[in-house]
Structures are given as C-alpha cells and as structure tokens.
C-alpha cells in the first residue's frame, strides 16, 4: 500500500510555471533559474511517499529514504502538522510522508495486527 501526495498538486506547479514565465523571459538569462522552484516542487510531489507492506515500511522523502520493519515500530505519533510519525524502538521518530490520521485503519490492517485499529477500540 502506497501513500503519496496527489498528482493533482502538479497543477499548482503548472500555475507557478505560468506565473514565473513573464519574469523568467524578460529579466535576463539568470532569471531562468526561477524555473528551479517549480522543478523542485514537482520532484518533491512525485518522489515523496510512504509504502507499507506486511514486513516493512519505507518512507521516502525528496533526498533520501528510511526503511524499517514492523517489529521496530513501537507506536505512531501525530505531529503538529497532522502528519504521522513512526516511533521506533530506538527512540527515533520517522516522518511518514503523505500518511494522515484518516489513514490509520488501513495502516493498522496492513500491519498485520502489530498496530491497533483506532476505529474498533471503545
């Protein structure tokens, strides 16, 4: 199961490109570097994701990835931006990109019972 940022967000990148074009084409050759901003946004949207399977979790960010097994996960924590973080046995917290609170039942199901489903608890 893979959670990623919706590809519809690329429409926002297209809007940034359109808005940047007048400045980039009239302000000289150095102004073309302004196109690096939407390029970076597009790479972030396409690369950032969290993949779950029965054995492991892979959290991929723009510049790297973190892979760990379900047995290493102690709990999940909600951060201030409403994203989930996995708390590992070592005490390290790993951001789970594109995974929100509403996804907890699916994450609990794929964990094979290692994490409780909050919707079934009373």
24 part of a folded domain: yes
- Determine contact, residues 68/54, Cβ cutoff 8 Å: no
Burial of 45 (0-12, 13-18, 19+ CB in 10 A): buried
How much is the mean pLDDT over the chain?
A: 90
Burial of 117 (0-12, 13-18, 19+ CB in 10 A): middle
pLDDT of 77-117, one tens digit each? 887 777 889 999 999 999 999 998 888 889 888 988 888 87
Instruction: Measure the CA–CA gap between 109 and 116, rounded to whole angstroms.
Output: 8
119 part of a folded domain: no
86 part of a folded domain: yes
Same domain membership, residue 90 and residue 39: no
Same domain membership, residue 58 and residue 19: no
What is the span of the domain harbouring residue 12? 1-47
37 part of a folded domain: yes
pTM, full prediction: 0.79
55 part of a folded domain: yes
Q: What is the pLDDT of residue 122?
A: 54
């Amino acid at each position: 199961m893979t959670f990623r940022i919706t590809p519809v967000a690329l429409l926002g990148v297209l809007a940034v490109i359109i808005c940047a074009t007048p400045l980039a084409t009239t302000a000289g050759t150095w102004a073309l570097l302004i196109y690096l901003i939407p390029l970076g946004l597009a790479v972030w949207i396409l690369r950032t994701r969290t993949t779950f399977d029965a054995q492991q979790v892979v959290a991929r960010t723009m510049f790297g990835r973190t892979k760990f097994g379900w047995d290493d996960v102690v709990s999940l924590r909600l951060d201030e931006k409403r994203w989930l973080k996995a708390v590992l046995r070592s005490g390290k917290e790993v951001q789970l990109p594109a995974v929100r609170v509403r996804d907890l039942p699916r994450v609990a199901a794929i964990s094979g019972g290692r994490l409780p489903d909050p919707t079934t608890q009373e």
